[in-house]
Amino acid sequence: MGVFAPMAARPYIIAETNWKDVQETDYEVAVLPWGATEAHNYHMPYATDNYQVEHVCAGAAKQAWEAGAKVGVLPAIPFGVNTGQLDITFCANMNPSTQAAVLRDIAESLSIQGIPKLVVVNGHGGNCFKQMLRELQAENPEVFFSAVNWWSAVDAAPFFDEPGDHAGELETSCMQFIAPDLVLPLDQAGDGSTNPSKLKAIREGLAWAQRDWLRATNDTGDGDPKASTPEKGEAFLNACSTRIGDYLIELAACNPDELYEKP
């Protein structure tokens, strides 16, 4: 007697879903989490960006699915742009040109399969997908492309004393909630202090240049994690997931050909 596979507990997570269920679902939105593999101060795991972006995407997709939006979250891409950290062991760099090639292959697959919308949810500050999506949109007009940086979905200021930029209070709090067993006690963390550029225009934000991470930081962090708590992380993650979930619901219901209100 045949045995039928049960419906996936999280049918919106494609890695956990089977062909039996997938072929019976008309997916409206594909979500692609994109993180990085890099050092995060002394106390945080290299996969911090991946854990965070996957957690937020899962929460947002759950909300959307329960509201009736057919959303599928693809497995996260675990490598990001880390050209300023090539001298840090196991900081794995994926050049923007490589990212563009990977993204193009995924987009073309979805286009062939008739999935009409793709959201890239970014989990790493070194990644930037805007120009890639401009190019893909011209090549695949039948797919609507958009991107979200998960950590900027809501204002971090009400949640943290000093959020920090990398492995500071924001990220540490989030990881204390998501994977507390992977976060060392805070007395083993560096203070996240950084060394400002000698160039005035860069300090003031007029000019931009890639940071040489081991010279610009003192422990690979940027931001003091000392005030981190899992409660802060949970609250912020939930707020970001909810905001992105709202977007997924709105996106699933929209017609990309009728996005603009005429006077």
Domains of the chain, CATH where assigned: 14-249 (3.40.50.10310)
- Cα gap 239→66, rounded to integer Å: 17
- Cα 185 from chain centre: 25
Nearest CA among 53, 76, 64 for reference residue 10: 64
Predicted confidence at residue 149, as pLDDT, reads 98
- Cα gap 18→13, rounded to integer Å: 10
Contact 240, 153 (CB under 8 A): yes
Q: Over its length of 263 residues, how does the chain's per-residue pLDDT go in tens digits?
A: 445 555 568 999 999 999 999 999 999 999 999 999 999 999 999 999 999 999 999 999 999 999 999 999 999 999 999 999 999 999 999 999 999 999 999 999 999 999 999 999 999 999 999 999 999 999 999 999 999 999 999 999 999 999 999 999 999 999 999 999 999 999 999 999 999 999 999 999 999 999 999 999 999 999 999 999 999 999 999 999 999 999 999 999 999 999 998 88
Predicted confidence at residue 5, as pLDDT, reads 52
Predicted confidence at residue 25, as pLDDT, reads 96
Nearest CA among 122, 139, 230, 219 for reference residue 183: 230
Which residues lie across from 122 on neighbouring strands? 34, 149
- Cα gap 247→254, rounded to integer Å: 11
Which residues lie across from 194 on neighbouring strands? 217
Cβ neighbours of residue 205 closer than 8 Å, sequence gap 6 or more: none
Nearest CA among 143, 159, 125, 140 for reference residue 236: 159
Judge if pTM exceeds 0.85. Answer: yes
Q: What is the DSSP string of the chain?
A: ---PPPPPSSTTBGGG--HHHHTT----EEEEEE--B--BTTTB-TTHHHHHHHHHHHHHHHHHHHTT--EEEPPPB--B--GGGTTSTT-BB--HHHHHHHHHHHHHHHHHHT--EEEEEE--TT---HHHHHHHHHH-TTSEEEEEEGGGSS-STTT-SS--SBSSHHHHHHHHHH-GGGS--GGGS----B---S-HHHHTTSS-----HHHHBSSS-BS--TT--HHHHHHHHHHHHHHHHHHHHHHHH--GGG-S---
